[in-house]
């Protein structure tokens, strides 16, 4: 896509940014008395990559032959959309601060999907590759809202395909989030790539990234450690997250929809216990983490796997016209944790608590 077409897309999205700000204005006006924490964009990085690079999520645009996606240009649209999401967020944030904050109180945040990237080996090459993965997945949108500019690694690699903030835009985007929100489920190992990973020879986000990422999203028994602020995310991300309050909007354990397995979901308890423990460790080491939300309260339709897998603390019988809900073992554990009564350490404690739960429910 040539520069005139890039400019046209930027102009089109700028009008949509104004529409988005007008929509937010209505929300602030009508609901600001009740809502004190606002999220402008949810999973901004993953929405952009999935919708405009890979084409596997709405609106399903990409430029890869053979994929079931609409026409698009993965080489440029990914970065143009991401750029305009940041400008739209900054516009809404500015509106809120100028028109509503003093009257209503409250604050505005920005949500990113956060992988916990780790080097696949102890080699220097894989450590550098891990930093690069953080630059592209997190720094891409985190650095602008903290510092007002894109990571140097992205500017060097993407070049003219990466839009440039004007001086005024940079000042507007910088500091536009009162807090950072993260959706976090899994770890991923990173390896340096010697070859361009794009087999189709189309330059896109993945080929620009230039590393191999191996994650086991559907792995049973996997424990994901929340490490923001105490060691895994290197350099700028560690510092940036300490500068801003952090809210973990989603975290949970995926399991197959098996009714008997679901009721005794000890792997989910082990996962949540380990993760929440890691959050506590992060806080003790300086992370300004202020909120944590388990995904999800009950089983529901998941975007990527439908009803095949679930995260819920309560199971839902989708064959029952009444959609009967039943508490899982994890529901007891989390309820006890919230009440400060949970001391489930190890399978024996978990099973004893399950026995008490069964008799009382």
Active-site residues: which are they? 43, 250
The token pair that represents 275 in the structure block: 């993760």
Buried b (16+ CB within 10 A) or exposed e, 230-248: bebbeebbbebbbebbbbb
Contacts of 18 (CB under 8 A, 6+ apart): 91
Greatest C-alpha distance within the chain: 69
Residue 325's region, left for phi above 0, alpha for psi from -120 to 50, else beta, is beta
The token pair that represents 128 in the structure block: 């550098």
Contacts of 101 (CB under 8 A, 6+ apart): 107
Taking the C-alpha atoms of residue 170 and residue 189, their distance in angstroms, rounded to an integer, is 33
Buried b (16+ CB within 10 A) or exposed e, 14-44: eeebeebbeebeeebeeebeeeeebbbbebb
H or E segment to which residue 249 belongs:
strand 246-251
- Structure-derived torsion over alpha carbons of residues 88, 92, 93, 94, reported in degrees to the nearest 10: 100
Radius of gyration of the chain (CA): 22
């Amino acid at each position: 896509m040539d520069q005139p077409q890039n400019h046209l897309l930027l102009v089109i999205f700028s009008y949509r940014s104004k529409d988005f700000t007008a929509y937010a204005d209505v929300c602030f006006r009508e609901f600001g008395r009740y809502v004190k924490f606002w999220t402008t964009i949810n999973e901004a990085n993953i929405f952009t990559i999935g919708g405009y690079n890979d084409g596997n999520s709405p609106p399903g645009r990409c430029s890869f032959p053979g994929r079931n996606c609409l026409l698009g240009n993965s080489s440029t649209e990914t970065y143009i959309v991401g750029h305009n999401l940041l400008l739209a967020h900054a516009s809404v944030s500015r509106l809120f601060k100028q028109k509503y904050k003093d009257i209503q109180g409250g604050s505005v945040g920005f949500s990113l999907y956060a992988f916990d990237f780790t080097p696949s080996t102890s080699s220097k090459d894989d450590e550098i590759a891990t930093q690069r993965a953080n630059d592209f997945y997190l720094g891409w949108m985190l650095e602008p809202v903290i510092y007002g500019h894109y990571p140097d690694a992205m500017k060097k690699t993407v070049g003219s395909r990466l839009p440039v903030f004007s001086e005024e835009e940079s000042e507007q985007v910088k500091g536009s989030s009162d807090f950072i929100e993260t959706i976090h489920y899994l770890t991923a190992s990173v390896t340096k790539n010697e070859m361009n990973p794009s087999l189709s020879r189309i330059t896109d986000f993945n080929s620009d990234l230039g590393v191999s990422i191996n994650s086991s999203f559907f792995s049973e028994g996997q424990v994901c450690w929340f490490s923001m602020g105490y060691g895994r995310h290197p350099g700028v991300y560690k510092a940036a997250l300490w500068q801003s309050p952090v809210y973990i909007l989603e975290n949970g354990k995926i399991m197959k929809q098996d009714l008997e397995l679901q009721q005794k979901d000890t792997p989910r308890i082990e996962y949540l216990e380990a993760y929440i423990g890691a959050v506590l460790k992060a806080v003790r080491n300086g992370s300004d983490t202020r909120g944590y939300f388990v995904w999800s309260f009950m089983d529901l339709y998941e975007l990527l796997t439908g009803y095949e897998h679930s995260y819920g603390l309560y199971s839902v019988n989708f064959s029952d016209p009444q959609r009967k809900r039943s508490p899982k073992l994890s529901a007891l554990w989390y309820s006890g944790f919230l009440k400060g009564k949970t001391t489930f350490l190890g399978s024996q404690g978990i099973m004893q608590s399950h026995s008490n739960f069964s008799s009382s429910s």
